[in-house]
Structure 1
Amino acid sequence: MHTLDRLAVGVRIREQREKLFMSKKDLAEKLNISLRFLDEVESGSRGVSLNKLMMLAQILEVSTDYLLFGSGEKSSEQVFSHIIENCPPSKREALAVIMKKIVDSYNE
């Protein structure tokens, strides 16, 4: 049986939010909560309801198991998709060139 560690949950929420290049303000708005409440959740001093947990998992593109316990699916493809979707169309070609150079450097 898992023990819930609110501080670790908050850290995973913050880290995943940052990986998606999402501001605290944006996440708070999507969850319909105050910025202060989100700060308290990310610091581990408050928890969230089951409904908000499910919303968090969907918004942050991870499983509830990952948020709660650090296990479960955490898809890097979802992170890449989010970055590409939020990249202005005029910058996508440059992004593709950068990504290709990175991948090529690993294959050398």
Structure 2
Amino acid sequence: MDMYDKNAVGERIRARRKALDISQEELAERIGRVPKFCADIERGQAGMSIETMLSICSLLKLSPDQLLLGASNQAANSNEAELIIDALKQCTEKQRKDAYALLKLFLTAIR
């Protein structure tokens, strides 16, 4: 059985938060907690309630399994794809077309 590792959970929260370009202060505000508590969670110095964990999972677009036990490579790749899709959703039509052209160029170059 896997054990709950507060340090590993905190590292996963920090890594995902940074990947989504969310500050600790914004994370705290959006889940209704104080920044010091979020910092303590990320450092593995504090646990969290189920409600806090679910709020963090929702905000960071992680499943509780991914947060608590770590993501498999397949799940990590899925998360990267979701981040790309989320970024593209914020683009204009022209920006999406340009991004697609760059991606095609890149993929052709690495073959």
Same fold (TM over 0.5): yes
Which TM-score applies when normalising by structure 1?
Answer: 0.80
Cα distance change of structure 1 residues 42 and 98 upon mapping to structure 2, 3 Å threshold: farther
Partner residue, 2:70: 70
Partner residue, 1:29: 29
Cα distance change of structure 1 residues 95 and 53 upon mapping to structure 2, 3 Å threshold: same
Q: Which moved more, 1:92-101 or 1:9-18?
A: 92-101
User: Matches of 1:62 and 1:55 in 2, distance apart?
Assistant: 10
Cα distance change of structure 1 residues 66 and 97 upon mapping to structure 2, 3 Å threshold: same
Cα distance change of structure 1 residues 33 and 91 upon mapping to structure 2, 3 Å threshold: farther
Cα distance change of structure 1 residues 42 and 83 upon mapping to structure 2, 3 Å threshold: same
SS in 2 for 1:54: helix
1:20 touches 1:83 (CA, 8 Å); kept in 2? no
Which one-letter code corresponds to 2:2 in the other structure?
H
Question: In the TM superposition, what are the counterparts of 1:17-96 in structure 2 within 5 Å?
Answer: 17-71=17-71, 73-74=75-76, 75=78, 76-87=80-91, 89=92, 92-93=95-96, 94-96=98-100
User: Matches of 2:83 and 2:22 in 1, distance apart?
Assistant: 11
CA RMSD of aligned residues (A): 2.2
Between the aligned residues of both structures, percent identity stands at 27
User: Matches of 2:90 and 2:48 in 1, distance apart?
Assistant: 27
SS in 2 for 1:48: coil
**Structure 1 portions without partners, runs of 5+:** none
User: Matches of 1:70 and 1:11 in 2, distance apart?
Assistant: 10
Counterpart pick for 1:102 among 74, 87, 106? 106
Q: Which moved more, 1:90-99 or 1:4-13?
A: 90-99
Which TM-score applies when normalising by structure 2?
Answer: 0.78
How many residues of Structure 1 are paired with residues of Structure 2 in the alignment?
106
SS in 2 for 1:80: helix
